[in-house]
Amino acid sequence: MGITGLLPIVKKTLEKKHISEFKNRRIGIDGFPWLYQILNTVAEELFYNIATTKYVIMFEKRIKSLLSHSVVPVVVFDGDYLIAKEKTNLERTQRKEKYRKEVESYIARKNHAKARELMKRCIGVSKEIVYEITKVLVKHNVEYIIAPYEADAQLFYLEKRGYIDCIMTEDSDLIPYGCSNILFKFDGSYVDYYKVECLEKSKDKVFKEYIQDICILSGCDYVDSIPGIGIQTAHKLISKTQNLNEIIKQISLKKRIPENYLEEYRKAKLTFRCQIVFDPVDKIRRHLNPPEEIVDFLGTLEDVEYIVEIALKNSVLGEDKKVIKVQRHFQPSEIKMKEVKITDKKVFLEIDKNKTSPYFK
């Protein structure tokens, strides 16, 4: 998760702040990075399918910490798999299966220490885990949204619409979306505060204006990088020219360009700009920006139920299951919208194409 090499570049410009400085602010919480951190501590239980509530307790502790400082959390979870991210998800699944086999091999050789360490690489956030966390959030009257697809796009949308004031996450994926205020590395007391101005302070104006294209060119979840092209090199190339064909021509003199790269790049760009999100005001799904072409790889605008299947304790081989329809958006009734300053809810998040799509000339 995250854009490789991006956080180290902006790190020196981040400001350390105590969480109490965000009193009464609505903070969108990127739920999955929290969960992956927490699940690392119960990796062995998950590997052996041992029932545990430890991860629920730890997640609840983080929420309580925010509430104790009068912060208003809005927790956002990843939803359904995005077709545009199919290759990345498949590779992650294959890696986890590889690690699982390695764990079994170490166990057979009685190297339990190495086995336990590798178990952390086998974990995944299941729908059942999300369901257990949502129950805790409802108990504490904390709003949550299970995004149609990617939590990153959903959080970006919520911030730009004025539904939340800033975003708390543990990776850098929110930066290329264009988020203005991000809180990194929450330790229960302090955060590293990122503002969009940090991009120009870290490098230059080009780095800020073309950060999305720089991240795509260096490799992201939606398209593989060209071997040898990292974020520093991508920045140098885009600083010289804002024409993708010219950039690819320069790269091809020294490196092999993957087949269909230009088309994959275009799809990655559309995924960043036009992904489907949930509007918590109008209660509908919509694109970040209206696409100008058919974009089936971005999913559906139709509401899709979030179904969780839980194996019953006494079932044989898990064949007997309880089916639960989980509410995708829980909003505490007493807050409604009176505490939320929403921008014009009929306006799409239009982006200056000359800045964000310089390669479609």
Query: What is the rounded average pLDDT for all residues in the chain?
Result: 90
Whole-model pTM above 0.85?
Answer: yes
- pLDDT digits over 131-157, tens only? 999 999 999 999 999 999 999 999 999
- pLDDT digits over 267-278, tens only? 999 999 999 999
- pLDDT digits over 24-43, tens only? 999 999 999 999 999 999 99
- Domain-located, residue 323: yes
Pick the residue with more confidence: 87 or 355? 87
- Domain-located, residue 317: yes
- Domain-located, residue 12: yes
- Domain-located, residue 361: no
- Domain-located, residue 59: yes
Range of the domain at 217: 6-338
- Domain-located, residue 346: no
Average pLDDT over every residue of 344-348:
42
Instruction: Return the half-sphere exposure (C-beta side, CA atoms, 13 A cut-off) of residue 137.
Output: 27
- Domain-located, residue 274: yes
Average pLDDT over every residue of 74-87:
94
Per-residue model confidence (pLDDT) at position 299: 96
Per-residue model confidence (pLDDT) at position 327: 96
- Number of structural domains (the chain) is 1
- Domain-located, residue 351: no
Query: What percent of the chain stands above pLDDT 90?
Result: 80
CATH of the domain at 318: 3.40.50.1010
